[in-house]
Chain A
Amino acid sequence: MVDQLVSRLSAPRLWGWVVVVVVASAAVGFPLFDLGREVIGAGSSAALEVLGGDGAWSPIVNTIWTSSLVTVLTLSGATAVAVATGGFSARRRLLVLVAMASPLLVPPFVSALSWVAAYGPGGLIDDGIGISLPWLIGPVGVVILLVVNAMPIAYLIVNAAIRSRGERDLVRAARVCGATSLRAFWTITMPLLRPALLASGAITFIMSANAFGVPVVLGTPARFPTATTRLYQDLVLSADPAAFDRVLVLAAFLGIMTLVVVGVADMSNRDPIRLRTEPSGPRLDSSDAGRGAAMAVAVYFGVTAAVPIVALVMTSFTRGVGLAPFPPNWTFDNFREAFASGAGSAFATSLTLAVVAASVVLLLGGLLVALERRRRTGVGTVAALAFAVPGSVVAVAVLLAYGPWLRDTVLIILVAYVAKFWALGHRPIAGSADAISPELSGAARVSGAGALTAVRTITVPLLRPALAAAWLIVFMFALHEITISSLLYGPGSATLAVTVLNLRQLGDPTVTAALAVLLTAGVGATAIPIVALSRRSGVFR
Chain B
Amino acid sequence: MNAAPALRCRGLTVRFGDVVVLDALDLEVARAETVALLGPSGSGKTSLLYAVAGLLEPDGGEIEIDGKPTRSGNRAIAPEHRSIGMVFQNYALWPHMNAVQTVGYPMRRRGISEDDAAAIAHRLLAKLGIGDLADRLPDQLSGGQQQRVGLARAIAAEPALFLFDEPTAHLDAALRITLQQELMAQRNRVGASALYTTHDAAEALAVGDRVGVLRNGKITQIGRPAEIYSQPLDLWTARLTGAASLLRARAVKVESDRVVVDVLGTSLTVPPIDCVVGEAVDLLIRPDWAELGGPMEGVVERVRYEGPHTDYLVVTAAGSLLLRRSGGPRLAVGESTGFGVLRAWGLPVER
Contacts and interface: CB of A to CB of B under 8 A. Distances in A.
B109 A179 contact: yes
B281 interface: no
A165 B139 CA distance: 13
B289 to A, nearest CB: 38
B53 A177 contact: no
Contacts of A178: 80-81, 106, 109-110, 157
A373 interface: no
Contacts of B92: 166, 169-170, 172-173, 281
A93 B93 CA distance: 26
A2 to B, nearest CB: 39
- For the complex of A and B, list the 8 residue pairs with the smallest distance between their C-beta atoms, beginning with the closest: A178-B109, A177-B106, A169-B92, A175-B79, A173-B92, A178-B80, A176-B86, A273-B95
A462 interface: no
B78 interface: yes
A328 interface: no
B50 interface: yes
A285 to B, nearest CB: 7
B42 to A, nearest CB: 11
Contact of A177 (B47, B57, B91, B153): B153
12 contacts: A173-B88, A173-B94, A181-B78, A183-B109, A192-B94, A276-B95, A276-B139, A278-B91, A281-B90, A281-B92, A284-B56, A287-B17
Nearest to B16: A285
Interface in B5-33: 16-17
A175 B50 CA distance: 12
Interface string A94-136: 0000000000000000000000000000000000000000000
Interface in B66-102: 78-82, 84-86, 88-96
Contacts of A191: 94, 96
Contacts of A282: 46-47, 50
A175 B90 contact: no
A274 interface: yes
In this complex, the member of A174, A181, A280, A285 whose beta carbon has the largest number of chain B beta carbons within 10 angstroms is: A174
A83 interface: no
B105 interface: yes
A45 interface: no
B153 to A, nearest CB: 7
A180 interface: yes
Contact of B139 (A175, A274, A280, A287): A274
A172 B95 contact: no
B55 interface: yes
A410 B203 CA distance: 73
Contacts of B309: none
Nearest to B95: A273
Contacts of B53: 172, 176
Interface string A257-300: 00000000000000001111011111011110000000000000
A286 B76 CA distance: 14
A280 B90 CA distance: 7
A188 interface: yes
B79 A172 contact: yes
B88 A281 contact: yes
Contacts of A183: 109
A166 B84 CA distance: 21
B253 interface: no
Interface in A466-485: none
A274 B95 contact: yes
Nearest to B83: A178
A177 B50 contact: no
Contact of B80 (A177, A275, A281): A177
B55 A176 contact: yes
Nearest to B139: A274
B88 A273 contact: no
Contact of B95 (A165, A174, A285): A165
Contacts of B81: 178
B55 A175 contact: yes
A183 to B, nearest CB: 7
A180 B96 contact: no
B113 to A, nearest CB: 15
B136 interface: no
Contacts of A175: 54-55, 78-80
Interface string A330-346: 00000000000000000
A282 B138 CA distance: 21
B170 interface: yes
Contacts of B57: 286
A273 B139 CA distance: 9
A174 to B, nearest CB: 7
Contacts of B96: 191-192, 273
A188 B55 contact: no
Nearest to B159: A176
Interface in B103-121: 105-106, 109-110
Nearest to A181: B78
B90 A180 contact: no
Contacts of A173: 86, 88, 92-94, 153
Contacts of B138: 276
A183 B79 CA distance: 13
Contacts of A278: 90-91, 170
In this complex, the member of B50, B85, B153 whose beta carbon has the largest number of chain A beta carbons within 10 angstroms is: B50
A173 B56 CA distance: 13
Contacts of B157: 176-178
B105 A177 contact: yes
A173 B96 CA distance: 14
Given A165-B95, A192-B95, A274-B95, A179 B170 contact: no
Contacts of A172: 50, 53, 55, 79, 86, 88, 92
A284 B50 contact: yes
A166 B92 CA distance: 7
Interface in A174-215: 174-181, 183, 187-188, 191-192
A162 to B, nearest CB: 14
A123 B138 CA distance: 57
B55 A284 contact: yes
Interface in B144-169: 153, 156-157, 163
A170 to B, nearest CB: 5
A462 B139 CA distance: 32
B45 to A, nearest CB: 10
B52 to A, nearest CB: 10
Contacts of B84: 176
A282 B165 CA distance: 12
Contacts of A286: 57
Nearest to A172: B55
A188 B94 contact: yes
A179 B105 CA distance: 9
A178 B84 CA distance: 9
Given A165-B95, A273-B96, A276-B95, 17 more contacts: A169-B92, A170-B93, A172-B50, A172-B86, A175-B55, A175-B79, A176-B80, A177-B80, A178-B106, A179-B80, A179-B109, A180-B78, A180-B80, A192-B94, A273-B95, A279-B89, A284-B50
Contacts of A280: 90
A191 B84 CA distance: 25
Contacts of A165: 95
B85 A176 contact: yes
